[in-house]
Protein backbone atom coordinates (compact mmCIF):
# COMPACT_ATOMS: atom_id res chain seq x y z
CA UNK A 1 0.00 0.00 0.00
CA UNK A 2 1.33 3.49 -0.74
CA UNK A 3 3.09 5.27 2.11
CA UNK A 4 2.80 9.06 2.27
CA UNK A 5 4.92 11.47 4.29
CA UNK A 6 2.97 13.16 7.09
CA UNK A 7 4.58 16.45 6.06
CA UNK A 8 2.51 16.36 2.86
CA UNK A 9 -0.79 15.45 4.49
CA UNK A 10 -3.21 17.79 6.26
CA UNK A 11 -4.85 16.33 9.37
CA UNK A 12 -8.57 16.87 9.15
CA UNK A 13 -10.50 18.23 12.15
CA UNK A 14 -12.28 14.87 12.52
CA UNK A 15 -8.92 13.10 12.69
CA UNK A 16 -7.77 15.56 15.35
CA UNK A 17 -10.94 14.92 17.36
CA UNK A 18 -10.45 11.17 17.01
CA UNK A 19 -6.87 11.44 18.23
CA UNK A 20 -7.90 13.65 21.16
CA UNK A 21 -10.54 11.11 22.19
CA UNK A 22 -7.99 8.32 21.85
CA UNK A 23 -5.56 10.23 24.05
CA UNK A 24 -8.24 10.62 26.71
CA UNK A 25 -8.94 6.88 26.56
CA UNK A 26 -5.20 6.17 26.78
CA UNK A 27 -5.06 8.10 30.02
CA UNK A 28 -7.62 5.66 31.40
CA UNK A 29 -5.94 2.55 29.98
CA UNK A 30 -4.66 -0.21 32.22
CA UNK A 31 -7.20 0.48 34.95
CA UNK A 32 -9.32 -2.56 34.17
CA UNK A 33 -9.87 -5.23 36.77
CA UNK A 34 -7.78 -8.39 36.96
CA UNK A 35 -8.23 -10.66 33.97
CA UNK A 36 -10.05 -8.04 31.88
CA UNK A 37 -8.88 -6.01 28.89
CA UNK A 38 -5.81 -3.86 29.31
CA UNK A 39 -7.63 -0.70 28.17
CA UNK A 40 -10.81 0.68 26.69
CA UNK A 41 -11.61 0.07 23.02
CA UNK A 42 -9.49 2.18 20.69
CA UNK A 43 -6.88 3.16 23.29
CA UNK A 44 -4.01 0.70 22.81
CA UNK A 45 -0.85 1.69 20.89
CA UNK A 46 -1.81 0.43 17.43
CA UNK A 47 -5.32 1.89 17.77
CA UNK A 48 -3.70 5.24 18.53
CA UNK A 49 -1.30 5.05 15.61
CA UNK A 50 -4.22 4.22 13.29
CA UNK A 51 -6.17 7.19 14.65
CA UNK A 52 -3.19 9.39 13.83
CA UNK A 53 -3.05 8.16 10.23
CA UNK A 54 0.13 6.09 10.69
CA UNK A 55 -1.05 2.52 11.26
CA UNK A 56 1.10 -0.28 12.68
CA UNK A 57 2.52 -2.62 10.05
CA UNK A 58 4.25 -4.79 12.68
CA UNK A 59 3.36 -5.13 16.35
CA UNK A 60 5.34 -7.38 18.70
CA UNK A 61 4.85 -7.97 22.41
CA UNK A 62 5.26 -10.83 24.87
CA UNK A 63 3.42 -8.92 27.60
CA UNK A 64 0.10 -7.64 26.21
CA UNK A 65 -2.13 -6.96 23.23
CA UNK A 66 -1.28 -3.82 21.26
CA UNK A 67 -4.74 -3.53 19.65
CA UNK A 68 -7.90 -3.30 21.76
CA UNK A 69 -9.55 -5.92 19.51
CA UNK A 70 -6.61 -8.36 19.51
CA UNK A 71 -7.31 -11.82 20.91
CA UNK A 72 -4.60 -13.90 19.24
CA UNK A 73 -1.14 -15.26 19.83
CA UNK A 74 1.63 -13.19 21.43
CA UNK A 75 4.54 -15.61 21.27
CA UNK A 76 5.49 -19.29 21.12
CA UNK A 77 7.63 -21.27 23.54
CA UNK A 78 9.47 -24.56 22.99
CA UNK A 79 9.95 -26.97 25.88
CA UNK A 80 13.39 -28.47 26.37
CA UNK A 81 12.22 -31.76 27.87
CA UNK A 82 10.36 -33.00 24.78
CA UNK A 83 10.63 -30.30 22.08
CA UNK A 84 6.90 -29.54 22.26
CA UNK A 85 5.72 -25.99 21.48
CA UNK A 86 2.87 -23.86 22.80
CA UNK A 87 1.47 -20.52 21.71
CA UNK A 88 0.96 -18.03 24.53
CA UNK A 89 -1.97 -15.69 24.02
CA UNK A 90 -3.83 -13.06 26.01
CA UNK A 91 -6.08 -13.52 29.02
CA UNK A 92 -8.86 -11.62 27.24
CA UNK A 93 -9.42 -9.48 24.14
CA UNK A 94 -7.07 -6.48 24.30
CA UNK A 95 -5.56 -7.86 27.49
CA UNK A 96 -2.40 -9.14 29.08
CA UNK A 97 -0.27 -12.22 28.38
CA UNK A 98 -1.36 -15.54 29.83
CA UNK A 99 1.88 -16.12 31.72
CA UNK A 100 0.28 -18.89 33.75
CA UNK A 101 -0.04 -20.96 30.57
CA UNK A 102 3.71 -20.64 30.02
CA UNK A 103 4.47 -21.50 33.64
CA UNK A 104 2.32 -24.62 33.48
CA UNK A 105 3.74 -25.75 30.14
CA UNK A 106 7.38 -25.17 31.17
CA UNK A 107 7.09 -26.47 34.76
CA UNK A 108 10.04 -28.62 35.76
CA UNK A 109 12.03 -27.83 32.62
CA UNK A 110 13.13 -24.80 30.59
CA UNK A 111 11.59 -23.17 27.54
CA UNK A 112 12.87 -20.95 24.74
CA UNK A 113 10.90 -18.24 22.92
CA UNK A 114 10.78 -19.48 19.33
CA UNK A 115 8.39 -16.95 17.75
CA UNK A 116 7.27 -13.43 18.62
CA UNK A 117 4.04 -13.04 16.66
CA UNK A 118 3.02 -9.95 14.71
CA UNK A 119 -0.35 -8.63 15.89
CA UNK A 120 -0.88 -6.41 12.82
CA UNK A 121 -2.23 -9.26 10.65
CA UNK A 122 0.59 -8.85 8.12
CA UNK A 123 2.50 -11.93 9.25
CA UNK A 124 5.66 -10.05 10.21
CA UNK A 125 6.59 -12.56 12.90
CA UNK A 126 10.06 -12.69 14.45
CA UNK A 127 11.91 -16.01 14.56
CA UNK A 128 15.45 -17.27 15.18
CA UNK A 129 17.90 -15.04 13.31
CA UNK A 130 19.94 -16.77 10.56
CA UNK A 131 23.66 -16.23 9.98
CA UNK A 132 24.71 -13.24 7.93
CA UNK A 133 27.80 -11.05 8.03
CA UNK A 134 28.32 -12.67 11.43
CA UNK A 135 27.35 -16.17 12.50
CA UNK A 136 25.55 -16.98 15.71
CA UNK A 137 26.49 -19.62 18.30
CA UNK A 138 23.57 -21.98 17.60
CA UNK A 139 23.49 -24.84 15.09
CA UNK A 140 24.04 -23.76 11.48
CA UNK A 141 25.32 -20.33 12.55
CA UNK A 142 21.89 -19.22 13.74
CA UNK A 143 21.59 -17.01 16.79
CA UNK A 144 20.43 -18.33 20.14
CA UNK A 145 16.80 -18.06 21.23
CA UNK A 146 15.83 -16.30 24.45
CA UNK A 147 15.09 -18.30 27.60
CA UNK A 148 11.37 -17.80 28.15
CA UNK A 149 11.38 -17.10 31.90
CA UNK A 150 14.51 -14.95 32.07
CA UNK A 151 12.78 -11.54 32.19
CA UNK A 152 9.75 -11.66 34.52
CA UNK A 153 7.74 -8.46 35.04
CA UNK A 154 4.23 -7.42 35.94
CA UNK A 155 2.00 -5.37 33.64
CA UNK A 156 -1.25 -4.01 35.00
CA UNK A 157 -0.70 -6.24 38.02
CA UNK A 158 -0.43 -9.36 35.82
CA UNK A 159 2.65 -11.54 35.56
CA UNK A 160 4.37 -11.49 32.16
CA UNK A 161 7.74 -12.17 30.57
CA UNK A 162 9.97 -10.09 28.33
CA UNK A 163 12.51 -11.22 25.73
CA UNK A 164 15.91 -11.41 27.46
CA UNK A 165 18.65 -10.87 24.87
CA UNK A 166 22.05 -12.19 25.94
CA UNK A 167 25.02 -11.80 23.59
CA UNK A 168 24.52 -14.30 20.79
CA UNK A 169 20.71 -14.12 20.94
CA UNK A 170 18.67 -12.61 18.10
CA UNK A 171 15.40 -12.62 16.13
CA UNK A 172 14.69 -11.59 12.53
CA UNK A 173 12.26 -11.56 9.61
CA UNK A 174 13.86 -10.98 6.20
CA UNK A 175 10.64 -11.38 4.20
CA UNK A 176 8.13 -8.85 5.47
CA UNK A 177 4.90 -7.23 4.34
CA UNK A 178 4.26 -3.48 4.41
CA UNK A 179 7.50 -2.34 6.08
CA UNK A 180 9.01 0.90 4.72
CA UNK A 181 11.64 0.63 2.01
CA UNK A 182 13.86 3.19 0.32
CA UNK A 183 13.13 6.67 1.65
CA UNK A 184 9.54 5.90 2.70
CA UNK A 185 8.55 7.32 6.10
CA UNK A 186 8.05 5.14 9.16
CA UNK A 187 7.99 5.23 12.94
CA UNK A 188 8.81 2.75 15.67
CA UNK A 189 8.89 2.45 19.43
CA UNK A 190 10.05 -0.20 21.88
CA UNK A 191 9.67 -0.74 25.62
CA UNK A 192 13.02 -1.91 27.02
CA UNK A 193 14.70 -2.64 30.33
CA UNK A 194 16.77 0.52 30.79
CA UNK A 195 19.14 -1.25 33.20
CA UNK A 196 20.05 -4.15 30.88
CA UNK A 197 22.56 -3.17 28.20
CA UNK A 198 26.17 -3.39 27.13
CA UNK A 199 28.60 -1.85 24.66
CA UNK A 200 28.35 -4.67 22.13
CA UNK A 201 26.92 -4.29 18.67
CA UNK A 202 24.05 -4.00 18.43
CA UNK A 203 20.87 -4.16 20.51
CA UNK A 204 18.46 -2.97 17.80
CA UNK A 205 14.76 -3.16 17.01
CA UNK A 206 13.47 -2.00 13.67
CA UNK A 207 14.09 -1.94 9.91
CA UNK A 208 17.18 -3.70 8.50
CA UNK A 209 18.71 -5.45 5.48
CA UNK A 210 16.91 -8.40 3.94
CA UNK A 211 20.09 -10.46 3.39
CA UNK A 212 21.48 -10.22 6.96
CA UNK A 213 24.55 -8.36 5.70
CA UNK A 214 25.87 -4.80 5.71
CA UNK A 215 24.79 -3.38 2.35
CA UNK A 216 25.83 0.22 3.01
CA UNK A 217 25.02 3.51 4.67
CA UNK A 218 21.33 4.23 5.10
CA UNK A 219 20.12 0.66 4.61
CA UNK A 220 18.81 0.40 8.19
CA UNK A 221 16.57 2.43 10.47
CA UNK A 222 16.31 0.96 13.97
CA UNK A 223 16.17 1.89 17.62
CA UNK A 224 19.51 1.21 19.32
CA UNK A 225 20.00 1.05 23.09
CA UNK A 226 23.34 0.60 24.84
CA UNK A 227 26.55 2.36 25.78
CA UNK A 228 28.68 1.77 22.70
CA UNK A 229 30.73 4.85 21.73
CA UNK A 230 32.24 3.34 18.58
CA UNK A 231 30.08 5.35 16.15
CA UNK A 232 28.03 7.81 18.18
CA UNK A 233 27.20 8.84 21.72
CA UNK A 234 25.64 11.53 23.86
CA UNK A 235 26.26 13.12 27.24
CA UNK A 236 27.44 11.18 30.28
CA UNK A 237 28.55 7.58 30.25
CA UNK A 238 25.40 6.09 28.68
CA UNK A 239 23.42 4.13 27.95
CA UNK A 240 21.85 6.13 25.12
CA UNK A 241 18.88 5.77 22.81
CA UNK A 242 20.25 6.21 19.31
CA UNK A 243 19.35 5.24 15.75
CA UNK A 244 21.26 2.51 13.95
CA UNK A 245 21.20 3.66 10.31
CA UNK A 246 23.92 1.16 9.24
CA UNK A 247 27.59 1.98 9.55
CA UNK A 248 26.61 4.48 12.17
CA UNK A 249 24.85 4.70 15.52
CA UNK A 250 23.61 8.27 15.39
CA UNK A 251 22.73 10.31 18.48
CA UNK A 252 21.88 13.35 16.37
CA UNK A 253 22.80 15.03 13.10
CA UNK A 254 26.54 14.59 13.56
CA UNK A 255 28.60 11.43 13.51
CA UNK A 256 30.07 10.90 16.98
CA UNK A 257 29.08 13.17 19.87
CA UNK A 258 25.78 15.07 20.09
CA UNK A 259 25.14 17.10 23.23
CA UNK A 260 21.34 16.85 22.99
CA UNK A 261 21.25 13.10 23.62
CA UNK A 262 21.41 12.32 27.36
CA UNK A 263 22.22 9.13 29.23
CA UNK A 264 19.05 7.41 30.44
CA UNK A 265 18.44 5.25 33.50
CA UNK A 266 14.73 4.34 33.59
CA UNK A 267 13.97 0.78 34.70
CA UNK A 268 11.34 0.67 31.96
CA UNK A 269 12.28 2.79 28.96
CA UNK A 270 10.18 3.97 26.02
CA UNK A 271 12.46 4.50 23.02
CA UNK A 272 11.21 5.86 19.69
CA UNK A 273 12.79 6.58 16.32
CA UNK A 274 11.05 7.87 13.19
CA UNK A 275 12.29 8.84 9.76
CA UNK A 276 11.09 10.26 6.46
CA UNK A 277 12.56 12.13 3.48
CA UNK A 278 15.42 14.19 4.96
CA UNK A 279 13.91 14.22 8.44
CA UNK A 280 14.17 11.96 11.44
CA UNK A 281 13.86 12.06 15.22
CA UNK A 282 14.82 10.30 18.44
CA UNK A 283 12.42 10.46 21.40
CA UNK A 284 12.43 8.65 24.73
CA UNK A 285 10.96 8.66 28.22
CA UNK A 286 10.11 6.74 31.35
CA UNK A 287 7.64 3.99 30.45
CA UNK A 288 6.18 4.09 33.96
CA UNK A 289 5.34 7.81 34.14
CA UNK A 290 5.66 11.11 32.32
CA UNK A 291 5.94 12.08 28.69
CA UNK A 292 8.48 11.70 25.91
CA UNK A 293 11.46 13.99 25.44
CA UNK A 294 12.80 14.78 21.98
CA UNK A 295 16.55 14.17 21.84
CA UNK A 296 16.84 15.05 18.17
CA UNK A 297 14.50 16.16 15.40
CA UNK A 298 15.78 17.49 12.12
CA UNK A 299 17.50 16.63 8.84
CA UNK A 300 19.27 13.39 8.09
CA UNK A 301 22.90 12.99 9.28
CA UNK A 302 25.43 15.22 7.60
CA UNK A 303 27.29 12.16 6.32
CA UNK A 304 27.11 10.77 2.79
CA UNK A 305 24.69 7.92 2.16
CA UNK A 306 21.82 8.78 4.52
CA UNK A 307 19.83 11.19 2.37
CA UNK A 308 17.96 9.68 0.71
CA UNK A 309 17.69 6.53 2.79
CA UNK A 310 17.87 3.02 1.30
CA UNK A 311 15.81 1.03 3.80
CA UNK A 312 15.20 -2.62 2.88
CA UNK A 313 12.31 -3.62 5.14
CA UNK A 314 13.53 -6.60 7.19
CA UNK A 315 12.81 -6.53 10.95
CA UNK A 316 15.41 -7.34 13.60
CA UNK A 317 15.40 -7.67 17.39
CA UNK A 318 18.52 -7.79 19.53
CA UNK A 319 21.09 -7.76 16.70
CA UNK A 320 22.60 -5.52 14.04
CA UNK A 321 21.65 -5.58 10.38
CA UNK A 322 24.60 -7.82 9.52
CA UNK A 323 23.72 -10.18 12.41
CA UNK A 324 26.35 -8.66 14.70
CA UNK A 325 25.20 -10.30 17.93
CA UNK A 326 27.40 -9.11 20.79
CA UNK A 327 24.65 -7.08 22.45
CA UNK A 328 22.50 -7.41 25.56
CA UNK A 329 19.06 -6.02 26.40
CA UNK A 330 15.46 -6.87 27.25
CA UNK A 331 12.46 -6.18 24.99
CA UNK A 332 8.82 -6.12 26.13
CA UNK A 333 6.86 -4.59 23.26
CA UNK A 334 7.31 -2.54 20.10
CA UNK A 335 5.83 -1.61 16.74
CA UNK A 336 6.74 -0.30 13.29
CA UNK A 337 4.35 2.05 11.50
CA UNK A 338 3.52 3.10 7.97
CA UNK A 339 4.12 6.86 7.75
CA UNK A 340 5.86 9.37 9.99
CA UNK A 341 3.92 9.59 13.30
CA UNK A 342 3.16 12.98 14.77
CA UNK A 343 4.49 13.87 18.21
CA UNK A 344 0.86 14.02 19.36
CA UNK A 345 0.29 10.41 18.33
CA UNK A 346 3.46 9.28 20.07
CA UNK A 347 2.47 11.21 23.17
CA UNK A 348 -0.87 9.40 23.20
CA UNK A 349 0.94 6.06 22.90
CA UNK A 350 3.24 7.05 25.78
CA UNK A 351 0.21 7.88 27.92
CA UNK A 352 -1.16 4.41 27.29
CA UNK A 353 2.22 2.84 28.11
CA UNK A 354 2.27 4.73 31.41
CA UNK A 355 -1.24 3.47 32.16
CA UNK A 356 -0.35 -0.13 31.26
CA UNK A 357 1.50 -0.38 34.56
CA UNK A 358 4.89 -1.96 33.88
CA UNK A 359 6.61 -2.92 37.13
CA UNK A 360 9.51 -5.16 38.17
CA UNK A 361 8.76 -8.69 39.25
CA UNK A 362 8.75 -9.25 43.00
CA UNK A 363 10.74 -12.48 42.58
CA UNK A 364 13.81 -12.27 44.82
CA UNK A 365 16.96 -14.25 44.04
CA UNK A 366 18.60 -13.87 47.43
CA UNK A 367 21.77 -12.72 45.65
CA UNK A 368 23.05 -9.26 46.53
CA UNK A 369 26.17 -7.97 44.84
CA UNK A 370 29.00 -7.92 47.38
CA UNK A 371 27.43 -10.51 49.67
CA UNK A 372 28.96 -13.86 50.59
CA UNK A 373 26.76 -16.90 50.00
CA UNK A 374 26.77 -20.67 49.77
CA UNK A 375 24.60 -22.64 47.33
CA UNK A 376 22.90 -25.80 48.59
CA UNK A 377 21.67 -28.59 46.34
CA UNK A 378 17.95 -29.44 46.50
CA UNK A 379 17.90 -32.94 44.97
CA UNK A 380 16.61 -35.35 47.68
CA UNK A 381 19.88 -37.28 47.65
CA UNK A 382 22.03 -34.29 48.28
CA UNK A 383 20.40 -31.66 50.50
CA UNK A 384 23.48 -31.45 52.76
CA UNK A 385 25.79 -30.83 49.80
CA UNK A 386 26.97 -27.45 48.51
CA UNK A 387 28.57 -26.12 45.36
CA UNK A 388 32.33 -25.79 45.88
CA UNK A 389 35.63 -25.87 44.07
CA UNK A 390 37.84 -28.94 44.46
CA UNK A 391 40.99 -28.74 46.51
CA UNK A 392 42.93 -31.03 44.16
CA UNK A 393 42.13 -29.18 40.92
CA UNK A 394 40.13 -26.23 39.60
CA UNK A 395 36.89 -28.11 38.90
CA UNK A 396 33.63 -27.46 40.72
CA UNK A 397 31.54 -30.13 42.42
CA UNK A 398 29.08 -30.63 45.26
CA UNK A 399 30.10 -32.01 48.63
CA UNK A 400 28.70 -32.26 52.15
CA UNK A 401 29.57 -29.40 54.46
CA UNK A 402 28.56 -29.12 58.11
CA UNK A 403 29.53 -27.20 61.21
CA UNK A 404 32.21 -29.81 61.89
CA UNK A 405 33.84 -29.43 58.46
CA UNK A 406 37.33 -28.01 58.16
CA UNK A 407 37.88 -24.31 57.59
CA UNK A 408 39.30 -25.12 54.16
CA UNK A 409 36.15 -26.99 53.14
CA UNK A 410 33.92 -24.19 54.41
CA UNK A 411 35.92 -21.60 52.51
CA UNK A 412 35.83 -23.63 49.28
CA UNK A 413 32.01 -23.63 49.56
CA UNK A 414 31.71 -19.85 49.93
CA UNK A 415 31.25 -17.42 47.05
CA UNK A 416 31.26 -13.64 46.78
CA UNK A 417 28.47 -12.35 44.55
CA UNK A 418 29.72 -9.88 41.94
CA UNK A 419 27.93 -7.98 39.20
CA UNK A 420 27.98 -10.18 36.11
CA UNK A 421 31.32 -9.86 34.37
CA UNK A 422 29.63 -10.31 31.01
CA UNK A 423 26.22 -8.81 31.82
CA UNK A 424 25.71 -6.50 34.80
CA UNK A 425 22.05 -7.51 35.08
CA UNK A 426 23.23 -11.02 36.05
CA UNK A 427 25.87 -12.19 38.53
CA UNK A 428 29.29 -13.78 38.76
CA UNK A 429 30.67 -15.81 41.67
CA UNK A 430 34.16 -15.06 42.94
CA UNK A 431 35.80 -17.75 45.06
CA UNK A 432 36.04 -16.54 48.66
CA UNK A 433 39.33 -18.30 49.34
CA UNK A 434 40.90 -17.78 45.91
CA UNK A 435 40.40 -14.06 45.20
CA UNK A 436 40.33 -13.15 41.52
CA UNK A 437 39.11 -16.60 40.46
CA UNK A 438 35.52 -16.97 39.29
CA UNK A 439 33.10 -19.82 38.72
CA UNK A 440 32.87 -20.34 34.96
CA UNK A 441 32.00 -23.07 32.50
CA UNK A 442 34.63 -24.44 30.17
CA UNK A 443 33.60 -27.17 27.73
CA UNK A 444 30.39 -27.38 29.85
CA UNK A 445 32.28 -28.33 33.06
CA UNK A 446 32.20 -25.78 35.88
CA UNK A 447 35.52 -24.68 37.33
CA UNK A 448 37.17 -21.67 38.89
CA UNK A 449 39.46 -19.57 36.74
CA UNK A 450 40.92 -16.08 36.53
CA UNK A 451 39.16 -13.50 34.40
CA UNK A 452 41.57 -12.98 31.50
CA UNK A 453 39.59 -9.97 30.28
CA UNK A 454 38.32 -11.63 27.12
CA UNK A 455 34.66 -11.45 26.19
CA UNK A 456 34.46 -15.24 26.30
CA UNK A 457 35.89 -15.44 29.81
CA UNK A 458 33.48 -12.79 31.08
CA UNK A 459 30.46 -14.45 29.48
CA UNK A 460 31.43 -17.95 30.67
CA UNK A 461 31.60 -16.59 34.23
CA UNK A 462 28.19 -14.93 34.15
CA UNK A 463 24.98 -16.55 35.38
CA UNK A 464 21.45 -15.16 35.46
CA UNK A 465 19.28 -16.08 38.48
CA UNK A 466 15.63 -16.89 37.92
CA UNK A 467 12.79 -18.80 39.52
CA UNK A 468 13.89 -22.35 40.28
CA UNK A 469 12.78 -25.32 38.23
CA UNK A 470 11.51 -27.25 41.26
CA UNK A 471 10.12 -24.45 43.40
CA UNK A 472 13.07 -24.36 45.79
CA UNK A 473 15.53 -21.47 45.73
CA UNK A 474 16.78 -20.32 42.32
CA UNK A 475 18.10 -21.67 39.05
CA UNK A 476 21.19 -20.16 37.43
CA UNK A 477 21.11 -19.78 33.66
CA UNK A 478 24.30 -19.50 31.65
CA UNK A 479 24.52 -15.98 30.22
CA UNK A 480 25.84 -17.15 26.85
CA UNK A 481 24.03 -20.50 26.52
CA UNK A 482 20.38 -19.61 27.25
CA UNK A 483 19.14 -23.20 27.53
CA UNK A 484 21.91 -24.33 29.91
CA UNK A 485 21.72 -24.08 33.70
CA UNK A 486 24.14 -24.76 36.55
CA UNK A 487 23.62 -28.42 37.43
CA UNK A 488 25.24 -31.08 39.58
CA UNK A 489 25.47 -34.54 38.02
CA UNK A 490 27.22 -37.46 39.71
CA UNK A 491 28.51 -34.85 42.18
CA UNK A 492 30.35 -32.91 39.44
CA UNK A 493 29.07 -29.51 38.29
CA UNK A 494 28.18 -28.49 34.75
CA UNK A 495 26.04 -26.17 32.69
CA UNK A 496 23.39 -28.46 31.27
CA UNK A 497 20.27 -28.38 29.14
CA UNK A 498 17.24 -30.55 29.75
CA UNK A 499 17.56 -33.57 27.46
CA UNK A 500 20.55 -32.41 25.47
CA UNK A 501 23.20 -34.57 23.82
CA UNK A 502 25.56 -34.95 26.78
CA UNK A 503 25.43 -37.38 29.67
CA UNK A 504 24.97 -34.50 32.12
CA UNK A 505 21.92 -33.28 30.17
CA UNK A 506 19.91 -36.30 31.33
CA UNK A 507 16.26 -35.52 31.98
CA UNK A 508 16.06 -37.52 35.23
CA UNK A 509 16.18 -35.16 38.24
CA UNK A 510 17.04 -32.22 35.94
CA UNK A 511 14.65 -29.81 37.68
CA UNK A 512 16.01 -30.74 41.13
CA UNK A 513 19.65 -30.78 40.05
CA UNK A 514 19.37 -27.26 38.55
CA UNK A 515 17.70 -25.73 41.64
CA UNK A 516 19.82 -24.20 44.42
CA UNK A 517 18.98 -22.69 47.79
CA UNK A 518 20.98 -19.56 48.62
CA UNK A 519 22.20 -19.91 52.22
CA UNK A 520 24.37 -18.00 54.64
CA UNK A 521 28.05 -18.44 53.80
CA UNK A 522 30.03 -21.18 55.46
CA UNK A 523 33.04 -18.86 55.69
- Residues tagged active-site: 246, 322
* Cross-strand partners of 438: 430, 449
In whole angstroms, what is the distance from residue 427 CA to residue 73 CA? Answer: 33
Q: What's the burial of 506, exposed, middle or buried (CB within 10 Å: 0-12/13-18/19+)?
A: middle
Residue 408: count of CB within 10 angstroms of its CB: 11
Listed residue (184, 179, 204) closest to 278, CA to CA: 184
Listed residue (262, 415, 285) closest to 348, CA to CA: 285
Q: What are phi and psi of 115, to 5 degrees?
A: -140, 135
C-alpha neighbours within 13 Å on the C-beta side of residue 57? 26
> Which whole-number Å values give the CA distances from 43 to 22, 25, 95, 336, in the listed order?
5, 5, 12, 17
Residues counted in the chain: 523
DSSP class of residue 505 equals G
In whole angstroms, what is the distance from residue 20 CA to residue 40 CA? Answer: 14
Q: What's the burial of 177, exposed, middle or buried (CB within 10 Å: 0-12/13-18/19+)?
A: middle
**Residues 429/415, Cβ–Cβ less than 8 Å:** yes
N-term to C-term CA, the chain: 67
Strands (E), 28-94: 56-61, 73-79, 85-89
Three-state DSSP state, 29: coil
Q: Please work out, in degrees rounded to the nearest 5, the angle formed at the alpha carbon of residue 498 by the alpha carbons of 471 and 443.
A: 115
Classify the phi-psi angles of 140: left when phi > 0, otherwise alpha if psi is within -120 to 50, otherwise beta. left
Amino acid sequence: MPVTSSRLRRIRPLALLTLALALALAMLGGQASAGSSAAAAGSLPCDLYASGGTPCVAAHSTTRALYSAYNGRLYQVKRASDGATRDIGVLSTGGYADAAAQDAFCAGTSCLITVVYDQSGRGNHLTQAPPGGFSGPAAGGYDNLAEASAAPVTVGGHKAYGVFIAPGTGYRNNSTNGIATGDQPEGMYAILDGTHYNGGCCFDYGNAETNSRDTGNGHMETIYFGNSKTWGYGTGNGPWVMADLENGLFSGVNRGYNAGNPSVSHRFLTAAVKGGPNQWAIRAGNAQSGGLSTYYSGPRPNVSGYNPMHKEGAIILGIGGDNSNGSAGTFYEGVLTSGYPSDATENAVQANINAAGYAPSSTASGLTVGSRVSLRATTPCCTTEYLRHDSADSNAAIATVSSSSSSADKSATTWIVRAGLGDASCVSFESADKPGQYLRHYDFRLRIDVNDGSALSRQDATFCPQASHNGQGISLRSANYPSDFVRHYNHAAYVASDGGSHEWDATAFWADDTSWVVTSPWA
